Chain A
Amino acid sequence: MKEQLSDNEIKRLFRVNQSTIEDDGFTETVMRRLPSAPKYGYIIYLFVFAGILAAFFIPGTKSLALMLSDFFISLLSFKMPSMEAIIVTVAVILGGALIFNITYEEGLG
């Protein structure tokens, strides 16, 4: 018959002499060794700012804003948004996510 140990007994044996590992500057060392922040991170904020400006000044963006507000107001009042509003909102979210992803990946690279 093979000898066997109980799980609790092994845990107890392994942990009885375990000392706590103090940080002792380890975290600071890791933080110092991290690569610098993405150089192109500001591009994200630039796009956001440009988008806000475009919404105010470019003809046609008013209808885009109306579609988005229609979508969110409908959701808040527990109503089904119009199909156009859904399509526009999904397109805007996907477009934004794509731009964010591309710029962030470039920044890391």
Chain B
Amino acid sequence: MSQTDDLFLVSRVILFDDRKAFDSLVRKYQAGIRRFFQHLTLGNTETSNDLSQETFIKAYLFLRSFRGSARFSTWLYRIAYNVFYDHKRSTHNQLQIETSAETELVWQHYSISEQIHQNIDVMESLKVLKEEERIAIILFYLEDFHYDKISDIMKCPVGTIKTHLHRGKEKLAVYFKKSGYERAII
């Protein structure tokens, strides 16, 4: 389904409150949004599903603010990004997300002898990143967004996004090396 199809569905929802059209949009994007939250919450499925539902409900309520100049997916991920930060604020940062200060503790659990295999645990590797780096890495590598789209979603300059990605990649390289995955290091 292309961007044009998305715009057509959005128009149907706005003009006629067409629930079937919105149903199609939810079906199309639910996997991506839920995966995005799962990575952000480092595997907390329950919270991910709650936040995903909230994202789609907000998207429905504010659909009239969507401008066709942006891609619908970018607009939706921007809402998801805001929902995540609203949730963080409301729960007083109680999400069990490791900060960079805790990075060394995480790495201590991964001796080379324990992790000599190529199936890297994505959630564990994301723990070594700062939150902004993690979001940029998830959007770039897992959700296939380009720099400018990530910049729209995170509302920060493209240069900052590139910095987050660069730092994230460096940390991941160290993590993968400590995990025994040498092939990734070039």
Query: What residues make up the interface of A, taking CB atoms closer than 8 Å to B?
Result: 2-7, 9-11, 13-18, 20-23, 26-27, 29-31, 33-35, 37-38, 41, 104, 108
Contact = CB atoms under 8 A, between A and B. Distances in A.
Interface residues of B, number: 39
Nearest to B181: A13
Nearest to A101: B64
Judged by DSSP, the binding face of B is helix
Contacts, number: 97
A13 B184 contact: yes
Given A4-B186, A13-B120, 10 more contacts: A14-B120, A17-B122, A18-B142, A20-B31, A21-B35, A23-B27, A23-B31, A27-B26, A30-B56, A41-B17
B141 A11 contact: yes
Given A4-B173, A6-B186, A14 B142 contact: yes
A9 B184 contact: yes
Given A9-B184, A26-B52, A3 B174 contact: yes
